[in-house]
Amino acid sequence: MNPDEIKTNLDKTWYTRQLIDNKQLEYSLSEFRQQPTGLHGVLEIKLITPENQIPLAYDLINVNRLPDRIRLSNAAYKHFTDGQKGKLPQEVLQGEIASFCRYSYPKLVKASAPTFVSGMSPAPPSWLCEGLILKGGGTVLFGEQGKGKSTTALLAAISVDSGDNTFFNVQQPRTTLFVNLERSAESLARRLGTVNKILGFEEARPLLMLNARGKSLFDLKEVIKDSVKENNVELLVLDSISRTGMGDLTANKPANDLMNLLNDMCETWFGLGHMPRSGENLYGSMMFDAAADILIKLISAKEENRIGVGLECTKANDVSFPPTSVFEFSYNDFGLSNVARSSLSEWPGLAEQIAPSTTELIEDHIRSNGSGTAQEISKAIKIGRSTVSVELSKNGKFESEKIGRELVYKIKSYQSESSDR
């Protein structure tokens, strides 16, 4: 076996060789993990025909242990036809598997090595759903239970999937996969029909869904990745993070594992989180906050059979903080009956819950101090410098003057306002 013929991506290696009758044999290794007993991985041997792919043997093995490799090689060989055995004798198969296991992990490590990256000019952000879902990023929408998170997620999912702009600014239709770990398939189907009608579609308009209540997200990994690939999915929506079965989400490792899993399954994802019973932040490890590109806090106010829902951005990587979006959800005896755009002026209870925006905090700091650099403002308002810099450069309220090596920012009308007082 020529090691150069082993293919790899960031988490898997594979090698394909010809058999007979236009059939191929593929060896693959994935889910590598270092354990006290050595390097382990999932080894699969499968037969590839023009019509389908047939697994012959599959198991988690100690990659460097001869008995493990021999056992799996022999298990696959039992399925060979006489003609295939003539083309590939058993001892040759065992030798190829040994070589494949020997060279796979070094090949994977090399593929993950650092490379030189050229800088690029700034570009406007690319949104799948403006202010909510950044292309190539991860969004976590969090809030109290029973206040409209799932409805908001379904509304956004259908909007992106269809390219509908009724409630969100969506540039074009993008296939969306909704992973439901929360409720029954029938319950979600009814919600889907209702939201479809609200958006002006046929009640039966389909949305790609995986209903897997009670299943671990890790166990669904390959099913989801296959679906993303086969259906050209551009957005994965997860309801919810707390039901993924990944362990104690207040601990850093399970939180990191979950974020890595979402990033591995789809380039762009939108997950629902919860808030602790007493608290204002996303429930779980701070690693959720660190890993997400966009954090949206759902706030709500209730009046009889309607709820005012506000989507307040609390974190935005490399983009300006979007304004708070407000919707009104109406309900009847059957559940959700209507969704409408609304405003903070119509829901005073929402306005009281909203923290000042990044722009407001910057403006308040400059008014108090006369001017400031991005670094000074970032430190004072406790928001990342990159976020502050983007807001200062793109927001028309501010102007800059170079003093020495620093850009010092003021409010454009500040001096004239001061002279008028």
pLDDT at 321: 84
307 and 415 fall within a common domain = no
The answer on 310 and 194 residing in a single domain is: yes
Which CATH number belongs to the domain containing residue 12 in this structure? 3.30.160
Q: How many domains does the chain have?
A: 3
Structural domain ending residue among the three candidates 317, 351, 385: 351
303 and 233 in a common domain: yes
257 and 133 co-located in one domain: yes
How far apart CA 2 and CA 13 sit, in angstroms, is 14
Q: Among residues 307, 325, 351, which one ends one of the domains?
A: 351
The answer to the question of residue 231 being in a domain is yes
The rounded distance, in Å, linking the Cα atoms of 347 and 332 is 20
Check if the beta carbon of residue 28 is closer than 8 Å to that of residue 43.
yes
H or E segment and range at residue 321? none
Q: What is the distance of C-alpha 134 from the center of its chain?
A: 10
* 204/185 Cα distance (integer angstroms): 14
Dihedral of the alpha carbons of 147, 151, 152, 156, in degrees to the nearest 10: 170
The alpha carbon dihedral of 336, 338, 340, 342 has a sign of negative
How confident is the model at residue 415, as a pLDDT?
Answer: 37
pLDDT at 413: 53
- Cβ-based neighbour number of residue 131 at 10 Å: 21
Neighbours of 319 (CB within 10 A): 21
Segments in 231-304 forming alpha helices (H): 252-265, 286-291
DSSP 199: T
Residue 7 maps to a domain = yes
- Tens-binned pLDDT, residue by residue, of the chain (421 aa): 899 999 998 789 999 999 988 899 999 999 999 999 999 999 999 999 988 999 999 999 999 999 999 999 999 999 999 999 999 999 999 999 999 999 999 999 988 889 899 999 888 889 999 999 999 999 999 999 889 999 999 999 999 999 999 999 998 999 999 999 999 999 999 999 999 999 999 999 999 999 999 999 999 998 999 999 999 999 999 999 999 999 999 999 999 999 999 999 999 999 999 988 766 788 899 899 899 999 999 999 999 899 999 999 989 988 888 888 999 999 999 999 999 999 888 888 887 887 677 887 888 788 788 899 999 999 988 888 888 988 898 777 889 999 998 999 998 753 333 334 3
For residue 337, give both structure tokens. 């009956």
Pairing of strands 269-274, 235-239: parallel
Which of 108, 154, 86, 100 minimizes the C-alpha distance to 339?
Answer: 154
Of 76, 111, 146, the last residue of a domain is 111
245/213 Cα distance (integer angstroms): 11
Amino acid at position 245, single letter: G
Q: Residues 200, 165: contact at Cβ < 8 Å?
A: no
Residue 304 lies in a domain: yes
Domain identity same for 398 and 304: no
Question: Are 104 and 196 contained in the same domain?
Answer: no
CA angle 160, 274, 137 (to 5 degrees): 40
- Together in a domain, 403 and 347: no
Assess if residue 117 is contained within a domain: no
Same domain? For 319 and 372 the reply is no
Asked if 104 and 29 count as a contact pair (C-beta separation under 8 A), the reply is yes
* Paired tokens of 248: 């104690």
